[in-house]
């Protein structure tokens, strides 16, 4: 659809939106005034909605769900209406900052809602209901080791991380996936309503809207994802082949095939999205990294608040100011005993200024130690761009936001742990293959999962995947990209995508794939700024103010500039580049090549 036709249709739908009915024709001055007015209105609406969402996520009761749904629907509907109204300024020559804010206004609609108020409310109710159902999900086995217990999501995640009993793992894996079939029909209705809202904004569907938010045409962005994946795919295939061989040794030929996909329940993670929990089964011989961070934290009796303090201290070592007192007063660090909460870790910016919060059911283990660094990356990013206009209060692209904290986590090296007093001395560099294996099981293993979630959703939004094929298509993509298969037969009575939080909560996922690319690129650039002369995987930017200044220069931009400019500020180049991952894992790649000789690769 041409811009002129789209603008005409928008004018027809909105009556006087384009100057009809006696209104003056749009001008650069009126565009600037519109942006300022829309920003002020949306800032207030989203602040109210954010407070209600916090309540709904930390006090899951009927009333909090109703309140959150009502305020989210109000904010989403107004955002969508203003985005549609912004079309009247298309074609005008505008100041660069005004044009960019109008573009962001149209592309940042979090959930495109239909203009019909009843449909808009229905959509908000569906999303709130799905997220609440996910948050309250539990499994009460009637047989097996856990008979008589009702397991929350964190209980099941722990079992999959620690158990080596295939039957127990299969039971828990299957049990958690009972949470999602009840809202499968709701999800299909959500797709219909969201697509209707996207079409009213001038996009083919919601997926096309999501792909348009990356400072490049949607098809070009999709091609960029393919390019990045092809850069790292050989490393993933090598890791997959080695892990499959080691799991086969553990569980036998009848459980793990020699040359096929790996059964999903054996990889130590509820979604097989990262594999670090199977490290003891696949660890290189004589490559013990020399420490166990989980055991160190347990021995030192680090509590939840202490875990967060370590994360904060990393950022302050780079020159950032400490988190405000209200962060410590208002955050949720542990699962309450008296109510249901959404334990999925998330960072919150309530007022766009200083009311920053962390919501997470923290346990003293290595995984949560890393997750805290990740989530605080969001918080410090949010505060860095607080002086920007409201529509620029975001990351250069959504992958940047996810990458910042993970970049800090890459500096959790033996040298860093020595500085914290966790280790007496750095571990032997000759054992680095073990450290790299642990990191690859977390980072490299995630890459195809980070890509396929939205590959599935984009196809669902476009209709390429029909409502009758949701589960079959899901497993086809998991096998294609991950080389992972369901451990038992699945059918369309199941809704396995819905067992991943980001699907019912309507959170785009490509950002996590981009973050896993960008964090290594950021790390390489910051390590150079810090003057690190060690191998990239041994570099820590802890206590480097030079690296902190370079990082902050990028963070302060927010979304005010296209992401290539923000990337250039931190890395000196304007193109996303996965070669930093290959640089980081080069010693492991050589070792994997040796181990895989004579073994089948691929699936």
Please identify every residue annotated as catalytic: 375, 502
CB 467 within 8 A of CB 192: no
Structure tokens of 58?
Answer: 């930390």
Q: Please, which residues have CB within 8 angstroms of residue 268's CB and are 6 or more apart in sequence?
A: 160, 161, 275, 276, 277, 278
How far is it, in rounded angstroms, from Cα 209 to Cα 218? 8
CA dihedral (87, 91, 93, 95) positive or negative: positive
Structure tokens of 467?
Answer: 């409502």
- What is the rounded (10 degree) CA torsion for 498, 504, 509, 511? -160
Beta bridge mates, 484 = 262
CA dihedral (104, 110, 114, 118) positive or negative: negative
Beta bridge mates, 298 = none
How far is it, in rounded angstroms, from Cα 480 to Cα 477? 5
CA R_g for the chain: 24
Phi/psi at 80 (nearest 5 deg)? Answer: -65, -40
Q: How far apart are the first and last CA of the chain?
A: 42
Beta bridge mates, 346 = 359
How far is it, in rounded angstroms, from Cα 15 to Cα 19? 9
**Nearest Cα residue to 156 out of 38, 256, 10, 271:** 271
How far is it, in rounded angstroms, from Cα 599 to Cα 593? 10
How far is it, in rounded angstroms, from Cα 417 to Cα 570? 25
CB 363 within 8 A of CB 386: no
How far is it, in rounded angstroms, from Cα 381 to Cα 553? 11
Structure tokens of 338?
Answer: 């008296």
Phi/psi at 532 (nearest 5 deg)? Answer: -70, 125
CA 552 to chain CA centroid, nearest Å: 21
Greatest CA span in the chain, whole angstroms?
Answer: 80
Q: Please, which residues have CB within 8 angstroms of residue 296's CB and are 6 or more apart in sequence?
A: 417, 422, 423
How far is it, in rounded angstroms, from Cα 432 to Cα 437? 8
Beta bridge mates, 269 = none
Q: Position of tokens 């207030």?
A: 44
Q: Please, which residues have CB within 8 angstroms of residue 553's CB and are 6 or more apart in sequence?
A: 569, 570
The H or E element that residue 357 is part of is strand 356-359
Structure tokens of 593?
Answer: 């090549």
């Amino acid at each position: 659809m041409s811009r002129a036709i789209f603008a005409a249709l928008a004018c027809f739908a909105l009556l006087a939106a384009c100057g009809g009915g006696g209104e003056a024709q749009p001008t650069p001055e009126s565009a600037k005034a519109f942006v300022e007015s829309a920003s002020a209105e949306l800032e207030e609406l989203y602040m109210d909605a954010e407070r209600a969402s916090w309540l709904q996520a930390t006090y899951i009761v009927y009333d909090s769900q109703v309140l959150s749904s009502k305020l989210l629907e109000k904010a989403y509907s107004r955002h969508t209406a203003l985005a549609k109204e912004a079309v009247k300024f298309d074609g005008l020559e505008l100041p660069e900052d005004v044009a960019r804010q109008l573009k962001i206004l149209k592309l940042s609609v979090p959930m495109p809602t239909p203009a019909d108020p009843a449909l808009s409310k229905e959509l908000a109710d569906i999303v709130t209901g799905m997220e609440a159902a996910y948050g309250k999900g539990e499994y009460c086995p009637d047989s097996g080791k856990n008979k008589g217990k009702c397991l929350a999501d964190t209980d099941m995640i722990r079992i999959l991380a620690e158990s080596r009993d295939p039957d127990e793992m299969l039971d828990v894996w299957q049990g958690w996936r009972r949470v999602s079939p009840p809202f499968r029909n709701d999800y299909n209705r959500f797709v219909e309503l969201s697509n209707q809202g996207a079409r009213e904004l001038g996009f083919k569907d919601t997926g096309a809207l999501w792909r348009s938010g990356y400072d490049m045409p949607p098809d070009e962005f999709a091609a960029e994802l393919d390019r990045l994946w092809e850069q790292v795919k050989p490393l993933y295939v090598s890791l997959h082949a080695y892990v499959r061989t080691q799991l086969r040794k553990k569980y036998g030929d009848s459980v793990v095939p020699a040359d096929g996909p790996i059964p999903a329940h054996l990889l130590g993670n509820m979604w097989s999205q990262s594999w670090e929990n199977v490290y003891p089964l696949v660890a290189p011989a004589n490559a013990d990294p020399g420490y166990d961070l989980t055991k160190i934290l347990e021995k030192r009796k680090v509590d939840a608040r202490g875990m967060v303090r370590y994360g904060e201290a990393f950022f302050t070592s780079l020159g950032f100011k400490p988190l405000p007192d209200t962060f410590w007063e208002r955050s949720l660090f542990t699962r309450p005993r008296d109510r249901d909460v959404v334990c999925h870790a998330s960072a919150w910016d309530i007022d766009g200024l200083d009311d920053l919060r962390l919501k997470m059911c923290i346990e003293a283990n290595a995984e949560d130690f890393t997750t805290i660094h990740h989530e605080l990356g969001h918080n410090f990013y949010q505060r860095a761009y607080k002086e920007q206009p409201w529509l620029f209060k975001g990351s250069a692209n959504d992958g940047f936001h996810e990458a910042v904290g993970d970049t800090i986590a890459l500096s959790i090296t033996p040298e860093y742990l020595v500085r914290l007093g966790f280790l007496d001395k750095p571990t032997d560099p000759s054992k680095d293959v073990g450290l790299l294996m642990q990191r690859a099981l977390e980072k490299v293993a995630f890459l195809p999962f980070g890509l396929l979630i939205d590959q599935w959703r984009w196809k669902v939004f476009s209709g390429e995947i029909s409502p009758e094929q949701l589960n079959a298509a899901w497993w086809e993509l998991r096998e294609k990209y991950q080389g992972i298969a369901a451990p038992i037969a699945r059918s369309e009575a199941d809704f396995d995508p819905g067992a991943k939080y980001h699907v019912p909560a309507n959170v785009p996922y490509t950002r996590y794939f981009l973050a896993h690319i960008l964090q290594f690129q950021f790390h390489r650039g910051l390590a150079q700024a810090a003057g690190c002369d060690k191998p990239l995987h041994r570099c820590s930017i802890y206590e480097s103010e030079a690296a902190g200044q370079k990082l902050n220069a990028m963070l302060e931009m927010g979304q005010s500039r296209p992401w290539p400019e923000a990337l250039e500020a931190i890395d000196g180049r304007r193109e996303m580049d996965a070669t930093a991952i290959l640089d980081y894992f080069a010693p492991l790649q050589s070792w994997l090549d040796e181990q895989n000789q004579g073994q089948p690769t691929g699936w």
